[in-house]
Chain A
Amino acid sequence: QQPVQSPQAVILREGEDAVINCSSSKALYSVHWYRQKHGEAPVFLMILLKGGEQKGHEKISASFNEKKQQSSLYLTASQLSYSGTYFCGTYSGTYKYIFGTGTRLKVLA
């Protein structure tokens, strides 16, 4: 089942922080985060591994909640270039890779 992201949309001023959540009905093994700009393909941003280790972006970080059924993406000191739609991606079963419902982020000057 498709992970549910919240909020569905958020508007920020440049320099503000944002949190995007990705919730699953079962425990997440690892979570990837992507950003899609309008009219373009999604681009991989970072991975959050099951032990909490992460690889990716300088000003973007992520975490699991206690039961590992939710991952949160933290965008620090947002820039105009952060605007886009964010998706979490994860494996459902061994090989089936699915995406969350998406969160639209708009950063204003």
Chain B
Amino acid sequence: NAGVTQTPKFQVLKTGQSMTLQCAQDMNHEYMSWYRQDPGMGLRLIHYSVGAGITDQGEVPNGYNVSRSTTEDFPLRLLSAAPSQTSVYFCASSPGGDYGYTFGSGTRLTVV
């Protein structure tokens, strides 16, 4: 059981470039979410999904897109990277209900 797997672990982008952060879970969890964490800050919700084909915006969705074609995968796309998107990105999943979220190890993104 790998849990939640995020790739890559580190990435440097130039302003204006696009890229996709990958997230996969093997626990058959319906709920998946993306968060960003800036230094000294908490976790802010970017986008979330409650099942394949169902996604919705979180608190800070601008500049990001998501899709959920399978239960396992929930990629996050940065459309045109900006320095303000420099952050650590966490993907997390949960069976929902009273259960908590299981996190991936994170992707540290720097936009120069």
Q: Which residues of A contact B (CB under 8 A)?
A: 2, 30, 32, 34, 40-44, 47, 49, 55, 87, 89, 95-102
Contacts and interface: CB of A to CB of B under 8 A. Distances in A.
18 contacts: A40-B105, A41-B105, A44-B101, A47-B98, A47-B100, A49-B98, A55-B98, A89-B101, A95-B31, A95-B56, A96-B58, A98-B45, A98-B59, A99-B35, A99-B42, A101-B42, A102-B41, A102-B42
B71 interface: no
Contact of B45 (A32, A47, A97, A100): A97
**Chain A, interface SS category:** strand
B48 A41 contact: no
B33 interface: yes
Contacts, number: 56
Contacts of B44: 2
B33 A97 contact: yes
B50 interface: yes
Interface size of B as a range? 20 to 34
Contacts of B33: 97
B65 interface: no
Q: Which of B31, B33, B58, B103 has the most CB of A within 10 A?
A: B103
B33 to A, nearest CB: 6
Interface string B68-112: 000000000000000000000010001010111111111000000
B56 A96 contact: yes
A44 B90 contact: no
A89 B70 CA distance: 26
B48 A87 contact: no
B31 A41 contact: no
Contacts of A87: 42-43
A2 B37 CA distance: 14
A100 B42 contact: yes
A99 B44 CA distance: 7
Contact of A42 (B43, B94, B96, B99): B43
B94 A97 contact: yes
